[in-house]
Amino acid sequence: MTDKKITQLDVATSASATDLLVMVTDNATTPVTQSITVSDFMTGLPTNIVTTGSTLTLSNDSGRIYMGAASDVCIYRTNATTISVSNTFRLAGSALVLYGNGATIYMGTAADVNLYRSNATLLATDNRFSASATFVGGDTAGIASTLGLTNTFNESLSTGSGVLKMAGATSRTQSGWLKIYNGTSARYIPYFTTITG
C-alpha cells in the first residue's frame, strides 16, 4: 500500500468497536505513533458524557458545563425541574422565549418574587411592582378584579358643569394634584386625603 499523509486518506463516516485510530503518545518527550481501537478509546472518556446524534447528555446528576479561560462560569442541574447558572445570565440575542403557558421567572435567594404569563394578554406577578415611572400606551378591554389605566383622554370642554361629591356630608378641598401625561403633555388629577365625615 502506498504511503499517504493522514490528510490524503479516505474519510470514514462511521466506526465499529474494533476499528483502529491513530494516536501519538509521549508527545512532550519521545513521540511514538501507535494505534488504539475505538472501543478502548471510548473507555478512556468520562462515562457520564453520552452523545446520541445531535444530543449531548450529562448522565450524572452533578454534571456541570464550565466556560471561560478560568472555568469560572458554569451551567448545572439543580434538581429534576431546574437548571442553574453560577453567575449572571445575559442574553446576547434579541429574544428570550419561555415556552409553556405556566413558565415563571423567579427572583431572589428565596425565589419569593415572580413574573409570569397570566393569559394571552396579561403579564402578572404575585408580588408588588415598583417602578420610577409607568407609561401606558393603549386602551384595551378591562380585566375583572383589576384596576386598569389607559392613554385615552377627552379634553373637549363646553358650558355644562358637574359636581364632585365626597363620601360624607362634609365639604372637602383637594389635598393636591396627581400628575399624569397625555403623550408628552402634563395633566393633573385632583386628589383628596379624606372623602368621608
Nearest one of 86, 77, 41, 82 to 57, comparing CA atoms? 77
Buried b / exposed e over 12-25, threshold 16 CB at 10 Å, is eeeeeeeeeeeeee
Assigned domain for 12 exists: no
Assigned domain for 197 exists: yes
* pLDDT tens digits along 131-190: 898 888 888 878 888 888 888 888 888 999 989 899 999 999 999 999 988 888 899 999
Specify whether 43 is located in the same domain as 65: no
Pairwise CA distance, residues 26 & 45, whole Å: 18
Mean pLDDT of the chain: 86
Specify whether 103 is located in the same domain as 118: yes
Is the pLDDT confidence value at 83 over 80?
yes
Nearest one of 171, 121, 166 to 146, comparing CA atoms? 121
Is the pLDDT confidence value at 9 over 90?
no
Is the pLDDT confidence value at 68 over 80?
yes
3-state secondary structure of 38: helix
* pLDDT tens digits along 25-53: 887 788 888 899 988 888 777 777 777 77
Specify whether 101 is located in the same domain as 80: no
Assigned domain for 151 exists: no
Q: What integer pLDDT is reported at residue 1 of this predicted model?
A: 62
Specify whether 174 is located in the same domain as 197: yes
Report the sign of the C-alpha dihedral through residues 60, 65, 69, 72, in that order. negative
The residue ranking higher by pLDDT, 34 or 1, is 34
Number of structural domains in the chain: 4
| 128, 150, 176 - which closes a domain | 128
Is the pLDDT confidence value at 124 over 80?
yes
Assigned domain for 82 exists: yes
Domain limits at 78?
A: 59-89
Q: How far is CA 32 from CA 22, 23, 27, 29, 162, in A?
A: 10, 8, 7, 9, 99
Assigned domain for 3 exists: no
Assigned domain for 135 exists: no
Assigned domain for 31 exists: yes
Assigned domain for 74 exists: yes
